[in-house]
Structure 1
């Protein structure tokens, strides 16, 4: 039995987004294998039906995190934890970094609406945090082979690929391996879902579901135009955006653009429905199985190339055929396994044709897609995808280039950029005052106080 500390930066509660859902299910799977597990959130921890010891430790609370770190044999972390806690950056415990989200690439898109200096700062902060994880971790887990090749380049540039780490591990799987996002072994059960619960959706409507948040790296606008174009061809077509209020991310401008376009085209509240809350984690299955197909559309850029769209797993879980934009790893899966339709980016006509096909009634093509989805989803259950982590926790190891304090791992500078504490807060306040003004600083303070209340 191993004692494992899991640290996430996302809220762990009734409404959870990807990182918290992943941390939660990792905790449950490791418990199932007989390990002792503690789950710590640096933002909020108030999930009611917890079967896992759950705590909140604020960023910079070294005494608070040290209690858990000293208890643990293995520390598994996501996000900015090393910059928030010196205790974790220098731990002598076995250290596992969860790098399933290339956050610096995500920030290239997420920060577009910010002042240029703040955008640069956010991307640099994400890059430095990721480099610190890659430099200091004993073991790293990513979501796909695409990502793994990408990270191997990172690791080589940081000096982590060397004779010391290569000797006896020619494919470097003991340094970085795969643990994609997963899904439950039990398919979702029908319940009180979309129909009759969200205004504008009736029992006979043909529902296309957007199963997650609306962010700037996605392309909801071409999708809305395509839905407007097929409303005569597909009677009762309904595009449902399942959640526009992410529990841990401020609303992006693309949400307002999507609303405005739906109003302009005369489809808001009719063919296009926005659910302006975030569906509780334990209820999302009933919403998904109430749909007829899933959809995910995005632009062509570097974030797409290395992304792992967790909403696609929800479609697999619910047995839904899907329409997806080409360019990411899941598009390859949908195409290779015949799970639905892959369309070019920003192609309204191709998207309209694909929607017509996946929402067809009594279609042999749709029946084949559903059969294939049911087969493929077994490859992505949590027990399957977490097998490498389970094996590591059973017999953990330090990386061959491990040094006490971890500052000597890899090559070059290894100073951890602090992302918590008074000094960090003062630097950020000065930055935003200079580049965004006093009103923006006051708004940020109010949001911080709301989150901590």
Structure 2
């Protein structure tokens, strides 16, 4: 009998998945196939999912009501954010936190978009508290790249988690924290039915298609791309922004960047002529058809700390589909694009340079073919069964974790208390913001009704 493994997905499962759900589903598949005797349960926050056809693992819904019951029934619990409630099983369970983003920096960007003043400060304090709690609760930690791993090791050191005992047991710390990059789809990239040319209004048979593969969040820079297309001034080049509202993630979606991008395209006369927006979220299965039909992909963003530590999971489907792409410099995958020859890298905010890169990648057939060949060569090492080897190894181990639980227990108690307090403070600010918004909305509605009454009265007077 192998280990009973529970994967708690923090994003939606099923057809309309974003990166958290895709990653959790891949983990379930790989662990079921590569950990001998493993009984794997994949749990998500939504109900509209299907069981795998081959029955390799079980899919269920998790909520506050059944979380403790699910945890009690399993030996290993894996999540990108471990719920604090399961700490009551800390002495007996093996916990894995999958920190596939540098959340301190990512959530700093989210806070800048959604909160102000002391509310934003409370958000930042809550972020620090939850990360400290996650790192202390976990027996094993995954990241998506080596930069992320280095940053989290620094945080772990400051929390006192890298003790002499831990370092003596493994000076590399790979048995405590390791990198597991986002993998690619297992199926080969075979084109299917068309979804753009001759199907979607505005896309002709001979058009060259640029795909922005994903949503538009605070840290992305669509304005530079739209300006580059204006400078390029080619009616045969069409850009599609694929995705807007993230499924099951309230903080992400149609925010300031998305609205600004649409406004810029409209002002330039590009909207629905050369620049198009997908307003919803395309299903995971259908998204691959957009990748396979596009000529190139472009993703532009800002050179900041979020970028430095990021691992752009939207690039992974481009590698799978052997679709050459252009990106901004600054992150790990941008370095790989330059080193591996997957496409071109441009400076932040440089629209003329981006316009030249787009023209080159679209029109230089020799460069294009070379990029496609390089992408095809990268596909084997990015299969999920390869990238998740550190997680497979941990789940197959039966001994005590490299960081003794008793050594982390005092810090865990302290950090659980700190997180509870910081969350309460943040929620208080959230409630006040909601109440203020409701009052403003009520006042605006009252004023609209007053104006409507005045308009009707004036219209009646004129009629007389």
How far off its partner does 1:3 sit? 1.1
Do the aligned partners of 2:108 and 2:124 also contact (CA within 8 Å) in 1?
yes
Give a deviation string over 1:45-90, Cα, whole Å, max 9, x none.
32125343222222x43xx1222212211111112x333x244673
Instruction: Tell me the TM-score normalized by structure 2.
Output: 0.87
How far off its partner does 1:428 sit? 5.4
Point out the more displaced range, 396-405 or 138-147. Answer: 396-405
Cα distance between partner residues in 1 of 2:151 and 2:384: 24
Higher alpha-carbon Rg? 2
Residue of structure 1 equivalent to 2:454:
none
Residue of structure 1 equivalent to 2:189:
188
How many residues were matched structurally? 430
Residue of structure 2 equivalent to 1:449:
none
User: Are 1:413 and 2:451 matched, yes or no?
Assistant: no
Cα distance between partner residues in 1 of 2:300 and 2:354: 9
Cα distance between partner residues in 1 of 2:268 and 2:230: 7
Residue of structure 1 equivalent to 2:428:
430
User: Are 1:439 and 2:437 matched, yes or no?
Assistant: yes
Residue of structure 2 equivalent to 1:304:
307
How far off its partner does 1:358 sit? 1.5
Residue of structure 2 equivalent to 1:24:
25
Give a deviation string over 1:70-126, Cα, whole Å, max 9, x none.
2211111112x333x244673521111101112221111122232233322222222
- Cα gap change, 1:405 to 1:20, in 2 (>3 Å): farther
Residue of structure 1 equivalent to 2:145:
144
Residue of structure 1 equivalent to 2:236:
236
Give a deviation string over 1:111-160, Cα, whole Å, max 9, x none.
22322333222222222211111112111110111111111101110111
User: Are 1:261 and 2:271 matched, yes or no?
Assistant: no
- Cα gap change, 1:181 to 1:416, in 2 (>3 Å): farther
Do the aligned partners of 1:111 and 1:119 also contact (CA within 8 Å) in 2?
yes
Give a deviation string over 1:393-427, Cα, whole Å, max 9, x none.
111443333335953358x933255679xx96x86
Do the aligned partners of 1:82 and 1:132 also contact (CA within 8 Å) in 2?
no
How far off its partner does 1:30 sit? 0.9
Residue of structure 2 equivalent to 1:106:
106
Point out the more displaced range, 133-142 or 31-40. Answer: 31-40
Indicate the RMSD between aligned Cα atoms, in angstroms: 2.4
- Cα gap change, 1:440 to 1:344, in 2 (>3 Å): farther
- How is 1:215-234 mapped onto 2 (pairs within 5 angstroms)? 215-232=217-234
Do the aligned partners of 1:138 and 1:398 also contact (CA within 8 Å) in 2?
no
- SS of the counterpart of 1:277? coil
Cα distance between partner residues in 1 of 2:14 and 2:91: 28
Do the aligned partners of 2:197 and 2:203 also contact (CA within 8 Å) in 1?
yes
Give a deviation string over 1:166-187, Cα, whole Å, max 9, x none.
1131111111011111112323
Do the aligned partners of 2:344 and 2:357 also contact (CA within 8 Å) in 1?
yes
Cα distance between partner residues in 1 of 2:428 and 2:267: 40
Cα distance between partner residues in 2 of 1:139 and 1:353: 45
Residue of structure 2 equivalent to 1:73:
75
Residue of structure 2 equivalent to 1:246:
246
Cα distance between partner residues in 2 of 1:432 and 1:8: 25
User: Are 1:56 and 2:56 matched, yes or no?
Assistant: no
How far off its partner does 1:441 sit? 9.0
Cα distance between partner residues in 1 of 2:354 and 2:109: 23
Moved segments of 4+, more than 6 Å: none
- How is 1:109-148 mapped onto 2 (pairs within 5 angstroms)? 109-113=109-113, 114-148=115-149
How far off its partner does 1:32 sit? 1.4
Cα distance between partner residues in 2 of 1:215 and 1:358: 25
Residue of structure 2 equivalent to 1:354:
357
Cα distance between partner residues in 1 of 2:83 and 2:440: 28
The one of 380, 397, 400 aligned to 1:398: 400
User: Are 1:377 and 2:379 matched, yes or no?
Assistant: yes
Cα distance between partner residues in 2 of 1:441 and 1:359: 52
Gap regions ≥5 residues in structure 1: 444-453
Cα distance between partner residues in 1 of 2:158 and 2:89: 20
- How is 1:281-296 mapped onto 2 (pairs within 5 angstroms)? 281-296=284-299
Residue of structure 2 equivalent to 1:450:
none
Gap regions ≥5 residues in structure 2: 442-464
Instruction: Tell me the TM-score normalized by structure 1.
Output: 0.89
